[in-house]
Amino acid sequence: MKVFHTVDDARGFSLSERKAGRSVVFVPTMGALHEGHLSLMRRGKELGDTLVVSIFLNPTQFAPNEDLDKYPKTFEADLDACRGEGVAAVFAPSPSEMYPRGKDEQLSWVSVEKLSGGLCGASRPGHFKGVATVVAKLFNIVLPDVAVFGEKDFQQAVIIKRMVEDLNFPVRIETAPIVREPDGLAMSSRNALLTPKNRKAATAIFRSLREAARRVADGERDAAKLTMMVEEAIGASGGTVDYVRVVDTGTLSPLDVVEGEALLAVAAKYGDVRLIDNILLGAAG
Ligand code: AMP
C-alpha cells in the first residue's frame, strides 16, 4: 500500500492508474477509522479497481469552539486497517499541504446553498462550506471515478451529490448504510471520547429512532409527536438535544406529516461529545 503526503504524489498515482485503464474509487475520511469507514472501503472495492482512502482532519469544517483538538488520532492503526482492506493508496496530507497559504487565506469556497442551512448546518455555521470545499479539493487531487460516503452523515451525502451535479464533477457518488455497534449506537470516531456512563446512555438515540420508525409503520403520521418522543427519550437518558427533525430525504426540508419516505435525523450531546444519527421512516422504514 502506498502512502502519499503530497498533492502531486497523490494526483500522479491516480493519473497513472487511470492511464493504465483502472478506475479509481475514493473514500474520504478524517481518520480514527472504525467499521463504518471499513464498510465504505468494502463497498468501494466492489465499485472499481483502485481504492484510494484519504485521512485528513480538515480544519476548515470545525468552528474555533469545536472539538478539532480533541478529535481522536490513530494514524498507524488506520494505515493497518487500510492495508487489511486492500487499499491501494492512502492520501494523508498535512493541513499546510491542503491549505498552503493557511486556511484564513483560502479565498475560494464551495457553498451548497439551501441544503447546508438546516440540521447540522444550523448549529454548525460554516461546517458544510468547509466540507464541500475540502471534498472538491480532494476530488481534484484524487481524480476518482466513484466516491463513497456514509449515510450516517446523510446531510453531507445529499450536499456532496448536489455539488457534483451543480458543478459537473466527473465523479459518481455512492452511499453506504450506517454501521452500528451491537447495542445500536452508530459507529463514530467520537464514540471513543464518551465516558463509560455516557457511552451507555447514548444508546437511547437509536432506541428512540427505531421506536419512531415502528410507530410510523403502525400508522403514526404526525412528525411533531415523533420528534417529541425522541427528544424526551434522549433527554431522559442524560443527553442534550441539538435537533430532532423529520425532513424530506431529497430537499432536507422539514415535514409536518410523514408521507412516503422521510428521514428522522438527530444530533445530541452527551457530555461535550456531539453525536448524530438518522433513520428512514415510511416506505423504507
Ligand atoms: P469521517 O471520518 O467521520 O469524516 O467519516 C468519513 C466517512 O465515513 C463519511 O462518508 C461518513 O459518513 C462515513 N461514516 C462514518 N461513520 C459511519 C458509520 N457508522 N456507518 C457508515 N458510514 C460511516
Give whole-number Cα distances, 120 to 266, 272, 281, in Å.
9, 16, 19
189-279 CATH choice from 3.30.1300.10, 3.30.565.10, 3.60.20.10, 3.40.50.720: 3.30.1300.10
Q: How far is the CA of 259 from the centre of ligand 1 (A)?
A: 28
Q: Would you list the domain boundaries of the chain?
A: 2-176, 189-279
Position 282 scores a pLDDT of 85
- Quote the mean pLDDT of the chain: 97
Average pLDDT value for residue range 108-134: 97
Other CB atoms within 10 Å distance of the CB of residue 123: 13
Other CB atoms within 10 Å distance of the CB of residue 221: 16
Which residue's C-alpha cell is 491501494? 88
Q: How far is the CA of 209 from the centre of ligand 1 (A)?
A: 19
Question: How does DSSP assign 107-133, residue by residue?
Answer: ------TTTTTSTHHHHSTTHHHHHHH
Query: Does the C-beta of 262 come closer than 6 Å to ligand 1?
Result: no
Percentage of the chain lying above the pLDDT 90 cut: 98
Query: Does the C-beta of 37 come closer than 6 Å to ligand 1?
Result: yes
Query: Does the C-beta of 129 come closer than 6 Å to ligand 1?
Result: no
CA distance 202 to 205: 6
Where in the sequence numbering do the catalytic residues fall? 37
pLDDT at 284 over 90: no
Query: Does the C-beta of 152 come closer than 6 Å to ligand 1?
Result: yes
Give the tens place of pLDDT for each residue, 206-252. Answer: 999 999 999 999 999 999 999 999 999 999 999 999 999 999 999 99
Average pLDDT value for residue range 178-193: 98
DSSP 23: -
Position 7 scores a pLDDT of 98
pLDDT at 278 over 60: yes
Other CB atoms within 10 Å distance of the CB of residue 261: 14
Structural contact between residues 52 and 24, judged by C-beta atoms closer than 8 angstroms: yes
Mutate to test the pocket of ligand 1, among 35, 37, 189 (most ligand atoms within 8 A of CB): 37
CATH placement of domain 2-176: 3.40.50.620
Position 285 scores a pLDDT of 42
Give the tens place of pLDDT for each residue, 57-107. Answer: 999 999 999 999 999 999 999 999 999 999 999 999 999 999 999 999 999
Q: How far is the CA of 24 from the centre of ligand 1 (A)?
A: 19
Position 281 scores a pLDDT of 97
Position 138 scores a pLDDT of 99
pLDDT at 194 over 80: yes
Query: Does the C-beta of 52 come closer than 6 Å to ligand 1?
Result: no
Average pLDDT value for residue range 191-208: 98
Position 121 scores a pLDDT of 97
Average pLDDT value for residue range 194-213: 98
Give the tens place of pLDDT for each residue, 24-59. Answer: 999 999 999 999 999 999 999 999 999 999 999 999
Its pTM stands at 0.97
pLDDT at 283 over 70: no
Region for 77 from its dihedrals, namely left if φ exceeds 0, alpha if ψ lies in -120 to 50, beta otherwise: alpha
Specify the residue with its C-alpha closest to ligand 1, atom 17. Answer: 36
CA distance 165 to 143: 16
Q: How far is the CA of 36 from the centre of ligand 1 (A)?
A: 6
Query: Does the C-beta of 153 come closer than 6 Å to ligand 1?
Result: yes
CA distance 152 to 278: 7
| Strands 89-91 vs 146-150: parallel, antiparallel or unpaired | unpaired
Q: How far is the CA of 41 from the centre of ligand 1 (A)?
A: 11
